Amino acid sequence: MTTIPEALEIAIQLQRQGNLAQAEQIYRQILQQQPNHPTALNLLGLIAFQVGKFEIAIENISKAIQANPSNSDFYNNLGVVFKKIGKIEEAVDCYRKALSLNPKDASYYYNLGNLLKNQEQLEEAIGCYREALAIKPDHFEAHNNLGLCLRDRGQLVGAITCFQKALELVRIMLKLT
């Protein structure tokens, strides 16, 4: 008999391999045994997101948050869904909540920075990208987007420096793969 942690690991591997239907089936079996299992709810929400069922994704990830409100990844995931469907303020709120729970995750700053950049809130976006880079200096997308913000602010020397760093990191990454 498989334990819930073992079943969860199997489902996660299936989901990573793109076997969404099989992964979903296992998550649902877990939820039959533990209806409020936060990880299963969150990952079931991510499958719904992957197949374009955004309202179901929101419902499941929200249930995961209710079951475990201290998990910053759940808020980040909900923010990704909200961003996809154009609910920008809700997405911003989710990213800010994720950051309040875990201020050491570069991806949260990066995601928030992208939303703020798209809303032309450049100063705050610049701050987010700089925070992301303080945590993860090799985040080439953050270097690039910081460069875009600096360019839009007329800070061309800083923008060029960011673009050069992003290009350098991409070159390094391509040599390794």
In this predicted model, what pLDDT tens digit does every residue of 113-122 receive, in sequence order?
A: 999 999 999 9
Q: What is the arithmetic mean of pLDDT over 14-22?
A: 96
pLDDT score, position 30? 97
**Element spanning 161, H or E:** helix 156-176
Model pTM above 0.75 = yes
Instruction: Compute the half-sphere exposure of residue 2: CA atoms within 13 Å on the CB side of its CA.
Output: 12
Q: Tell me what the pLDDT averaged over the chain comes to.
A: 96
Name all domains of the chain by residue range, CATH numbers in brackets: 103-177 (1.25.40.10)
With tokens 């990830």, the residue in question is: 61
pLDDT score, position 31? 97
pLDDT digits (tens, 9 = 90+) for 77-95: 999 999 999 999 999 999 9
Residue 9 pLDDT level (bands cut at 50, 70, 90): very high
Q: Taking Cα atoms as reference points, which of 2, 70, 78 lies closest to residue 33?
A: 2
Cα–Cα distance measured from residue 16 to residue 54, given in angstroms and rounded to the nearest whole number = 19
pLDDT score, position 2? 86
Pairwise pLDDT comparison (21 vs 177), residue with the higher score = 21
With tokens 């600096």, the residue in question is: 150
pLDDT greater than 60 at residue 177: no
Q: Taking Cα atoms as reference points, which of 159, 103, 99, 81 lies closest to residue 126?
A: 159
1 Cβ contact partners less than 8 Å away, ≥ 6 residues apart: none
Please state, for a pLDDT cut of 70, what percent of the chain lies above it. 98
